[in-house]
Amino acid sequence: MRKPALVLLLLFLTLASAAGHARAQNDATDPVYVVQPGDTLYSIALRFGVPLNDLINANQMVDPNALAAGTELTIPGLSGVSGRLVTEAIPLGLDLASLSRYRNLDPALLIRLNRITSPAEVFAGSNLIIPQEESISYRKPISGLAAGESLLEHAAGANANPWEFVLAAQAASTNEITPGEQLYLASADETPPPNPLAPAIQKLELDPLPLVQGRTVVIRATSQAPVTLEGSLNGFPLHFFQEGENQYVALQGIHAMAEPGLAPFSLTVTDASGASTSFEQMMLLEQGYYANDPPLSVDPATLDEANTRPEDDLIRQTTSPATPEKHWNGIFRLPVDEPSCIKSWYGNRRSYNGGPYSYFHTGLDYGVCANLNIYAPAPGVVVFSGPLTVRGNATIIDHGWGVYSGFWHQQESLVKVGDVVEAGQLIGQIGGTGRVTGPHLHWEVWVNGVQVDPQMWLDRVFP
């Protein structure tokens, strides 16, 4: 064979081999993963346990430096897995077993896709990779067996075949169905996820989930009849208020320096007869990713615990009561005139006089960019007005339901304790009193004993 012909043959074989390899890497049976915000090729490869080079070769048309959320990536090497893979957060009240039954998913496949080593790794707010069929299947949650009730009796009451419950529970026999266990039946339509406090509570919601440092959390419960609710979130007792017929809501702040990881949530519902049902679950608490402010130099007296602790205790005591009357309605308004300018954001970590970054900024700092006027951001009752060492001339407004606004470093406060104020009412003048490096308004919002990001209250409506 002549050399040119030999060269052409070798080139053909090389191209055929490469094409075959590309086809193998992009096999039509390979699953497709939908990229989430924050994903990288490396993190995706790590999450699925596939070599990075194989992932790159299987997706040669994708620019790894411009990986956008929503991009669909072929995941090579996952034998027995096909279709579309999406990321979903575990709803409140579900674990690996109940999620598998509710969504009619193979628990072994969920364990494999998410490389789960223990069911304890699955908690409310954690993200799981879930296979998404063309037609998503849900199962309708049904109350479990009562004490002494047989599955046959329960099925007759639900007008169902008892084996439907067995199949939906992914059990092998009727003997595996125990009293109190959540049961399911096939459903043609999407149904709300099972409620761990049913039947006393018809619907239970927690927003946002996962929890995030500095956010305001809303917990809502809807009951069939009047009930009493008690609970706690990350160590803080919850206060529930009625916002409609048999509708209850509690607000809770998540501390900006709360330890990321798992946060405990518990809830007990008591009906009119005195019967109680309780529920506990760990939920994911994520970082708020706050920046470090430049180091600040201040009067050392304003850092001395002999001065700061009594003042902190006073503020904490003032903002602790959750008064039953809700004064605000709708979104909060700016506490200053426009144009407004924020000099420091909530949550930023702070270092004073060369010390460690062990402090955080508890509110929003508005500079003097229009005039000195300070306004009430929402209706409420003035519960504090006076001079303080760290906070300077201070005012605190109780908006009800455990929500308070604080206004620090004022040149002058124009209201007194007991005054009822309306949104937009002039309450003070911007100044430079207390621990400051220049004139500004420090505005903060407290929710059930915790300072939260005030910007959220300017951006959305809380109940």
Check if the beta carbon of residue 185 is closer than 8 Å to that of residue 168: yes
Q: Which two tokens stand for residue 2?
A: 């002549």
Q: How confident is the model at residue 21 (pLDDT cuts 50, 70, 90)?
A: very low
Q: What is the pLDDT of residue 135?
A: 67
| Residue 28 pLDDT grade (very low, low, confident, very high; cuts 50, 70, 90) | low
| CA 439, chain centre distance (Å) | 35
Q: Which of 404, 427, 410 is nearest to 368 (CA)?
A: 410
pLDDT (tens digit per residue) in 157-187: 888 888 888 888 888 888 888 887 888 888 7
pTM of the model: 0.82
In 3D space, the residue among 113, 105, 98 whose CA is nearest the CA of residue 132 turns out to be 105
DSSP state of 448: T
Q: What percent of the chain has pLDDT over 70?
A: 93
How many CB atoms sit inside 10 A of residue 253's CB?
24
- Choose the weakest-confidence range: 17-26, 143-152, 256-265: 17-26
DSSP for 245-286 reads TTEEEEEEE--TTPPSEEEEEEEEEE-TTS-EEEEEEEEEEE
Per-residue pLDDT of 333-347, as tens digits, reads 999 999 999 999 999
**pLDDT tens digits for range 324-376:** 999 999 999 999 999 999 999 999 999 999 999 999 999 999 999 999 999 99
220 in Cβ contact with 353 (< 8 Å): no
The per-residue pLDDT of the chain, averaged, comes to: 88
Kindly list the structural domains of the chain, giving each domain's residue range(s) and its CATH number in brackets, ordered by start. 26-82 (3.10.350.10), 138-187 (3.10.350), 201-286 (2.60.40.10), 300-459 (2.70.70.10)
If you write DSSP's letter for every residue of 339-375 in order, what string do you get?
A: SP-EEE-TT-EE-BTT--S-EE--SEEE-SSS-SEEE
